[in-house]
Structure 1
Amino acid sequence: MRHMAGEIRHKSYRYKAHTSWTGERRGVVVAMGRPEIPVGSPPEFRGDGKSWAPEELLLGSVNTCILLTFLTLIQGRGVTLVAYDSEVGGLLEHKEGAHQMTEVTVRPHVTVASEAELATARQAMDQVEPRCFMSQSIKARVTVEAQFAAAET
């Protein structure tokens, strides 16, 4: 099947990761060819708080997906990204008999090269959440509260 330039191909992909218990309430996660990530329970769930908790990994995954989706959306649209820093927060609640992340708020601070690029950057960010596969894959409500600045004013 031929695809025109710029056309997005929709494919399916499979990903794998392996988790091993290392003792107490800790373990490691590894994916092929990547460094191990030490994981464990956060202090509120009887962990020592020295490793990445699943809650933090989930938030980090959503935050990273928002960044990468934004980069995809501004590509070729005349936006020169100067800086991008983002904080993410989540609310874990006990609902329906189990703990679940119910809210995720991503707060990117985006700096583009000039004021002329701000509108395009904002338009791209408005499209990010519904196109981010991580935010579309979780039950939590995901909100993006972006702030923008221009390096040249």
Structure 2
Amino acid sequence: MLGEHHYALTATWTGNRGTGTSGYRDYDRSVSLRIEGKPEVLASADVAFRGDGARWNPEDLLLAALSECHLLSYLHACVVRGVVVTSYVDDAVGTMRQQGNGGRYESVTLRPRVTVADASMVEDARAAHDDAHEWCFIANSVNFPVHHEAEVSVG
């Protein structure tokens, strides 16, 4: 498991309306993302950038990657700590600031609501978020803060 890992996908622009990129309003931002053996992801630009709001955009995908990476790292941290998680829901939010023709995420806040099996597990369940943040490959790859506002309950 340790070592170098490689990932590959094919991103295909499908938004040529017949005249290519002849003008800013003359093309669609539709993209298909494919990885062999996985369902196709239909993507676009954010609506603010003339994209299709029914499709995933790069900003959505980055937020999703951070949320899922923390979730998976957290579940592992809980196993290591002996915490039994019975439910996990994250309402993640991110802030991006546009600067000229570009922009960047300024921060992401993950808001996981976790339910554990027993009250004796609550302290370790809270601490496991620090482990997860340290272990998350995606959070370690971005150059903006990823905050956590976790809630832990017993159920």
Distance across 2 between alignment mates of 1:107 and 1:20: 33
2:64 counterpart of 1:60:
yes
Find 2:51's aligned residue among 47, 51, 73: 47
Q: Residue 123 of structure 2 corresponds to which residue in structure 1?
A: 119
Pair 1:21-2:13 in alignment: yes
Normalized per residue, the structure richer in strand is 1
Identity, in percent, stands at 32
Letter matched to residue 141 of structure 2: S
For 2:152, which of 137, 148, 153 is the aligned residue?
Answer: 148
> Which stretch shows the higher mean deviation, 49-58 or 90-99?
90-99
User: Equivalent of 1:137, from 132, 137, 141?
Assistant: 141
- Deviation string 1:9-50 (CA, Å, 9 cap, x unpaired) is 631101111111111110110111000000001110111211
SS at match of 2:59: helix
Q: TM-score, normalised by structure 1?
A: 0.88
Cα offset, 1:122, TM superposition: 1.1
Alignment of 1:75-90 (within 5 A): 75-90=79-94
Cα distance in 2 for residues equivalent to 1:143 and 1:95? 23
Q: Secondary structure at the match of 1:119?
A: helix
Could you say what secondary structure the match of 1:117 adopts? helix
> Is this contact kept in 1: 2:81–2:128, CA < 8 A?
no
User: Partners in 1 of 2:81 and 2:147 — Cα distance?
Assistant: 24
Q: CA deviation at 1:68?
A: 0.4
Give the corresponding residue for 1:12. Answer: 4
Q: What RMSD in Å do the two structures reach over aligned CA positions?
A: 1.5
Off by >4 Å, runs of 4+ in structure 1: none
Q: Matched residue of 1:84: which SS?
A: strand
CA shift, 1:97, in A, is: 6.9
Q: Secondary structure at the match of 1:133?
A: coil
Q: Which residue matches 1:6?
A: none
Unmatched tracts of structure 1, length 5 or more: 1-8
